[in-house]
Structure 1
C-alpha cells in the first residue's frame, strides 16, 4: 500500500468560482500533484520542469484547435 500523507491543495488563481478548478500541491518527496475539481480522485504527479514546459506551451497556443 502506498504511504498516505495529507496534501495542502491550492486552487489556481485562474479558476473562476463555480467552474472547473485546477488544484496543485507539493508532496513530501518534492513532486507536484495536480487534480481537477470535477474528479478529485484522479491525481497526476509531475515535477517542476515538465509542468513549466506544459504551461509555456499552453500560453504559446500550442494546443489550440485540439478537442477533447
Structure 2
C-alpha cells in the first residue's frame, strides 16, 4: 500500500492519533472519504464529457 510496510503505516496512524486526538479521527476519516468519493465522481464526469468529438478546430490560414 503506497510502498509502505505495516510499521510505517502504524507510525503514520499513531502520529495522526496524537496530532488530531481520538475524538476527531472519525470525523477526519469521514471527511476524507467524502472528499475521495467526490474526486472520483468528478473524474468520472470528466471522462463522460470528454468521450465525445473533440472541439478543437484547426487554425485558419493566414489572410494576406
- Return the TM-score normalized by structure 2: 0.32
* Higher percent of residues as helix: 2
Bigger Rg, structure 1 or 2:
2
* Higher percent of residues as strand: 1
- Return the TM-score normalized by structure 1: 0.31
